[in-house]
Protein backbone atom coordinates (compact mmCIF):
# COMPACT_ATOMS: atom_id res chain seq x y z
CA UNK A 1 0.00 0.00 0.00
CA UNK A 2 2.71 2.48 1.05
CA UNK A 3 4.88 1.39 -1.89
CA UNK A 4 2.01 1.91 -4.33
CA UNK A 5 1.36 5.40 -2.94
CA UNK A 6 5.07 6.23 -3.19
CA UNK A 7 5.03 5.19 -6.83
CA UNK A 8 1.96 7.36 -7.52
CA UNK A 9 3.75 10.37 -6.04
CA UNK A 10 6.99 9.84 -7.96
CA UNK A 11 7.73 12.17 -10.88
CA UNK A 12 10.58 12.84 -13.32
CA UNK A 13 11.21 16.57 -13.64
CA UNK A 14 12.42 18.75 -16.52
CA UNK A 15 16.05 17.83 -15.74
CA UNK A 16 15.38 14.09 -15.78
CA UNK A 17 15.74 13.79 -12.01
CA UNK A 18 13.32 11.69 -9.97
CA UNK A 19 11.52 13.43 -7.11
CA UNK A 20 8.35 13.09 -5.10
CA UNK A 21 5.08 14.96 -4.73
CA UNK A 22 5.15 14.03 -1.04
CA UNK A 23 6.60 17.51 -0.45
CA UNK A 24 3.40 19.09 -1.76
CA UNK A 25 1.24 16.78 0.35
CA UNK A 26 3.19 17.72 3.48
CA UNK A 27 2.82 21.41 2.60
CA UNK A 28 -0.96 20.96 2.35
CA UNK A 29 -1.03 19.30 5.76
CA UNK A 30 1.21 21.95 7.29
CA UNK A 31 -0.61 24.97 5.87
CA UNK A 32 -4.05 23.59 6.72
CA UNK A 33 -3.02 22.57 10.24
CA UNK A 34 -1.40 25.93 11.03
CA UNK A 35 -4.36 27.85 9.62
CA UNK A 36 -6.74 25.77 11.74
CA UNK A 37 -4.75 25.66 14.96
CA UNK A 38 -3.35 29.20 15.01
CA UNK A 39 -6.40 30.81 13.49
CA UNK A 40 -9.83 29.36 12.75
CA UNK A 41 -10.82 25.78 12.00
CA UNK A 42 -12.89 26.94 9.04
CA UNK A 43 -9.76 28.39 7.43
CA UNK A 44 -7.95 25.10 7.87
CA UNK A 45 -10.87 23.23 6.31
CA UNK A 46 -11.05 25.57 3.31
CA UNK A 47 -7.32 25.24 2.60
CA UNK A 48 -7.44 21.47 3.07
CA UNK A 49 -10.28 21.33 0.54
CA UNK A 50 -8.28 23.33 -1.99
CA UNK A 51 -5.25 21.12 -1.39
CA UNK A 52 -7.38 18.00 -1.87
CA UNK A 53 -8.58 19.26 -5.26
CA UNK A 54 -4.97 19.85 -6.29
CA UNK A 55 -3.90 16.42 -5.04
CA UNK A 56 -6.71 14.77 -7.01
CA UNK A 57 -5.37 16.46 -10.14
CA UNK A 58 -1.83 15.34 -9.29
CA UNK A 59 -2.87 11.71 -8.91
CA UNK A 60 -5.57 11.31 -11.54
CA UNK A 61 -4.01 13.10 -14.52
CA UNK A 62 -1.08 10.64 -14.84
CA UNK A 63 -3.53 7.74 -14.72
CA UNK A 64 -5.47 9.25 -17.59
CA UNK A 65 -2.26 9.62 -19.57
CA UNK A 66 -1.30 5.99 -18.93
CA UNK A 67 -4.76 4.92 -20.04
CA UNK A 68 -4.26 6.78 -23.31
CA UNK A 69 -7.03 9.25 -22.62
CA UNK A 70 -6.59 12.87 -23.78
CA UNK A 71 -5.53 15.32 -21.07
CA UNK A 72 -6.35 19.00 -21.50
CA UNK A 73 -3.84 21.68 -20.53
CA UNK A 74 -4.41 25.29 -19.58
CA UNK A 75 -7.59 27.15 -18.80
CA UNK A 76 -8.63 27.23 -22.45
CA UNK A 77 -8.15 23.46 -22.80
CA UNK A 78 -10.18 22.65 -19.69
CA UNK A 79 -13.02 24.96 -20.67
CA UNK A 80 -12.99 23.48 -24.16
CA UNK A 81 -13.30 20.00 -22.69
CA UNK A 82 -16.22 21.16 -20.55
CA UNK A 83 -17.99 22.50 -23.64
CA UNK A 84 -17.56 19.06 -25.18
CA UNK A 85 -19.15 17.44 -22.14
CA UNK A 86 -15.91 16.16 -20.53
CA UNK A 87 -15.04 17.11 -16.96
CA UNK A 88 -11.25 17.06 -16.63
CA UNK A 89 -9.45 17.08 -13.29
CA UNK A 90 -8.22 20.58 -14.17
CA UNK A 91 -11.76 21.73 -14.89
CA UNK A 92 -12.88 20.26 -11.56
CA UNK A 93 -10.23 22.43 -9.91
CA UNK A 94 -11.19 25.47 -11.97
CA UNK A 95 -14.78 25.11 -10.76
CA UNK A 96 -14.15 23.76 -7.27
CA UNK A 97 -11.45 26.08 -5.97
CA UNK A 98 -13.45 29.31 -6.54
CA UNK A 99 -16.48 27.75 -4.82
CA UNK A 100 -14.41 26.62 -1.84
CA UNK A 101 -12.71 30.03 -1.76
CA UNK A 102 -16.08 31.78 -1.74
CA UNK A 103 -17.13 29.64 1.22
CA UNK A 104 -13.99 30.76 3.05
CA UNK A 105 -14.73 34.41 2.27
CA UNK A 106 -18.26 34.13 3.61
CA UNK A 107 -17.06 32.37 6.79
CA UNK A 108 -14.33 34.92 7.53
CA UNK A 109 -14.56 37.29 10.50
CA UNK A 110 -16.73 40.31 9.59
CA UNK A 111 -17.59 38.75 6.22
CA UNK A 112 -18.21 40.89 3.17
CA UNK A 113 -21.07 40.20 0.78
CA UNK A 114 -22.04 41.02 -2.76
CA UNK A 115 -19.58 41.90 -5.49
CA UNK A 116 -16.66 42.36 -3.10
CA UNK A 117 -17.07 38.82 -1.77
CA UNK A 118 -17.00 37.49 -5.33
CA UNK A 119 -13.91 39.57 -6.13
CA UNK A 120 -12.14 38.31 -3.00
CA UNK A 121 -12.98 34.70 -3.87
CA UNK A 122 -11.62 35.31 -7.37
CA UNK A 123 -8.40 36.69 -5.86
CA UNK A 124 -7.95 33.60 -3.66
CA UNK A 125 -8.65 31.22 -6.55
CA UNK A 126 -6.49 33.26 -8.93
CA UNK A 127 -3.52 33.23 -6.53
CA UNK A 128 -3.91 29.46 -6.13
CA UNK A 129 -3.82 29.00 -9.89
CA UNK A 130 -0.97 31.47 -10.46
CA UNK A 131 1.25 29.71 -7.91
CA UNK A 132 0.60 26.48 -9.77
CA UNK A 133 1.47 28.11 -13.12
CA UNK A 134 4.80 29.22 -11.65
CA UNK A 135 5.65 25.76 -10.30
CA UNK A 136 7.55 24.74 -13.45
CA UNK A 137 11.05 25.02 -12.02
CA UNK A 138 12.56 24.31 -8.58
CA UNK A 139 11.81 27.00 -6.02
CA UNK A 140 10.03 29.31 -8.47
CA UNK A 141 6.56 29.21 -6.91
CA UNK A 142 8.00 29.42 -3.40
CA UNK A 143 10.13 32.44 -4.33
CA UNK A 144 6.95 34.15 -5.50
CA UNK A 145 4.78 33.22 -2.50
CA UNK A 146 7.17 33.56 0.45
CA UNK A 147 8.02 37.30 0.18
CA UNK A 148 4.35 38.23 -0.01
CA UNK A 149 3.45 35.93 2.89
CA UNK A 150 6.27 37.33 5.05
CA UNK A 151 5.30 40.92 4.24
CA UNK A 152 1.64 40.33 5.11
CA UNK A 153 2.61 38.60 8.35
CA UNK A 154 4.44 41.76 9.44
CA UNK A 155 1.63 44.22 8.72
CA UNK A 156 -0.09 45.84 11.71
CA UNK A 157 -3.18 43.82 12.60
CA UNK A 158 -6.10 45.50 14.33
CA UNK A 159 -9.28 43.51 14.79
CA UNK A 160 -10.15 39.85 14.33
CA UNK A 161 -10.22 40.03 10.54
CA UNK A 162 -6.75 41.53 10.18
CA UNK A 163 -5.36 39.17 12.80
CA UNK A 164 -6.72 36.16 10.92
CA UNK A 165 -5.02 37.53 7.78
CA UNK A 166 -1.69 37.65 9.56
CA UNK A 167 -2.15 34.07 10.75
CA UNK A 168 -2.99 32.88 7.25
CA UNK A 169 0.16 34.56 5.94
CA UNK A 170 2.21 32.76 8.59
CA UNK A 171 0.44 29.50 7.74
CA UNK A 172 1.79 29.88 4.20
CA UNK A 173 5.22 31.22 5.14
CA UNK A 174 6.32 28.58 7.66
CA UNK A 175 5.67 25.36 5.64
CA UNK A 176 6.81 27.14 2.48
CA UNK A 177 10.13 28.12 4.04
CA UNK A 178 10.63 24.59 5.36
CA UNK A 179 9.94 23.13 1.90
CA UNK A 180 12.25 25.53 0.02
CA UNK A 181 15.60 23.71 0.56
CA UNK A 182 14.23 20.35 -0.65
CA UNK A 183 12.46 22.04 -3.57
CA UNK A 184 15.63 23.84 -4.70
CA UNK A 185 17.70 20.64 -4.43
CA UNK A 186 15.08 18.79 -6.48
CA UNK A 187 14.36 16.27 -3.74
CA UNK A 188 10.65 17.02 -3.96
CA UNK A 189 8.13 19.28 -5.65
CA UNK A 190 4.97 21.12 -4.69
CA UNK A 191 2.77 19.80 -7.47
CA UNK A 192 -0.75 21.14 -7.89
CA UNK A 193 -1.61 20.34 -4.27
CA UNK A 194 1.22 22.27 -2.61
CA UNK A 195 1.24 25.18 -5.06
CA UNK A 196 -2.54 25.62 -4.96
CA UNK A 197 -2.74 25.65 -1.17
CA UNK A 198 0.17 28.09 -0.75
CA UNK A 199 -1.30 30.46 -3.33
CA UNK A 200 -4.75 30.20 -1.75
CA UNK A 201 -3.38 30.90 1.74
CA UNK A 202 -1.55 33.98 0.43
CA UNK A 203 -4.66 35.18 -1.43
CA UNK A 204 -6.81 34.64 1.65
CA UNK A 205 -4.36 36.66 3.74
CA UNK A 206 -4.59 39.47 1.17
CA UNK A 207 -8.39 39.56 1.39
CA UNK A 208 -8.22 40.14 5.14
CA UNK A 209 -5.17 42.39 5.39
CA UNK A 210 -5.41 44.80 2.45
CA UNK A 211 -7.88 47.57 1.57
CA UNK A 212 -10.34 47.08 -1.28
CA UNK A 213 -8.43 49.17 -3.88
CA UNK A 214 -5.26 47.13 -3.30
CA UNK A 215 -7.15 43.85 -3.53
CA UNK A 216 -8.87 44.84 -6.77
CA UNK A 217 -5.55 45.96 -8.25
CA UNK A 218 -3.94 42.66 -7.31
CA UNK A 219 -6.89 40.79 -8.79
CA UNK A 220 -6.33 42.66 -12.06
CA UNK A 221 -2.65 41.65 -12.07
CA UNK A 222 -3.48 38.01 -11.32
CA UNK A 223 -6.10 37.87 -14.08
CA UNK A 224 -3.73 39.51 -16.57
CA UNK A 225 -0.94 37.04 -15.78
CA UNK A 226 -3.31 34.09 -15.99
CA UNK A 227 -4.57 35.17 -19.40
CA UNK A 228 -1.01 35.84 -20.57
CA UNK A 229 0.01 32.31 -19.55
CA UNK A 230 -2.33 30.94 -22.22
CA UNK A 231 -0.14 32.52 -24.93
CA UNK A 232 3.25 33.20 -23.35
CA UNK A 233 5.70 30.83 -21.66
CA UNK A 234 6.64 32.19 -18.22
CA UNK A 235 9.86 30.13 -18.40
CA UNK A 236 10.83 31.71 -21.72
CA UNK A 237 10.20 35.23 -20.39
CA UNK A 238 12.22 34.53 -17.24
CA UNK A 239 15.12 33.06 -19.22
CA UNK A 240 15.22 36.15 -21.48
CA UNK A 241 15.16 38.64 -18.56
CA UNK A 242 18.49 38.77 -16.72
CA UNK A 243 17.27 39.85 -13.24
CA UNK A 244 14.44 37.30 -13.29
CA UNK A 245 16.76 34.60 -14.59
CA UNK A 246 19.27 35.27 -11.80
CA UNK A 247 16.58 35.14 -9.12
CA UNK A 248 14.99 32.04 -10.65
CA UNK A 249 18.29 30.11 -10.63
CA UNK A 250 19.39 31.28 -7.18
CA UNK A 251 20.01 28.25 -4.98
CA UNK A 252 19.14 25.74 -7.70
CA UNK A 253 21.21 22.87 -9.04
CA UNK A 254 23.10 23.56 -12.28
CA UNK A 255 20.80 24.01 -15.26
CA UNK A 256 20.83 20.92 -17.49
CA UNK A 257 21.37 20.98 -21.23
CA UNK A 258 18.36 22.36 -23.12
CA UNK A 259 15.69 19.82 -24.12
CA UNK A 260 15.25 18.77 -27.72
CA UNK A 261 13.65 21.31 -30.05
CA UNK A 262 10.35 19.44 -30.18
CA UNK A 263 9.90 19.40 -26.40
CA UNK A 264 7.40 21.91 -25.05
CA UNK A 265 8.73 23.76 -22.00
CA UNK A 266 5.30 24.21 -20.47
CA UNK A 267 4.51 20.50 -20.80
CA UNK A 268 7.68 19.32 -19.06
CA UNK A 269 7.08 18.36 -15.40
CA UNK A 270 8.69 20.69 -12.92
Distance CA 254, CA 249 (A): 8
Position 113 pLDDT exceeds 90: no
Residue 97 near residue 46, CB atoms below 8 Å: no
Q: Is the pLDDT of residue 172 over 90?
A: yes
Q: pTM score, two decimals? A: 0.86
| Lowest-pLDDT range of 36-40, 113-117, 127-131, 179-183 | 36-40
pLDDT digits (tens, 9 = 90+) for 73-110: 656 655 666 666 666 677 788 889 999 999 999 988 77
**Per-residue pLDDT tens digits for 204-238:** 999 999 999 999 999 999 999 999 998 999 999 99
What was the pLDDT predicted at 263?
A: 45
Domains of the chain, by residue range, sit at 20-255
Q: Is residue 226 within 8 Å of 215, Cβ to Cβ?
A: no
Instruction: List Cα–Cα distances, 16 to 181, 200, 219, 238, 257, in angstroms.
Output: 19, 29, 35, 21, 11
Amino acid sequence: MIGALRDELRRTNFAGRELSLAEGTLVVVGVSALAGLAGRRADGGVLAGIGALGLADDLLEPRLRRAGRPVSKGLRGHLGALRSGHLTTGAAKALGIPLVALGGILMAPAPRGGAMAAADAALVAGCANLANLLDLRPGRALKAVLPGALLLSLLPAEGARAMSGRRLALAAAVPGALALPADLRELGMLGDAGANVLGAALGSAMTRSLPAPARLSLLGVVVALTLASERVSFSAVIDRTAPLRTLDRLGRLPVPAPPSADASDEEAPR
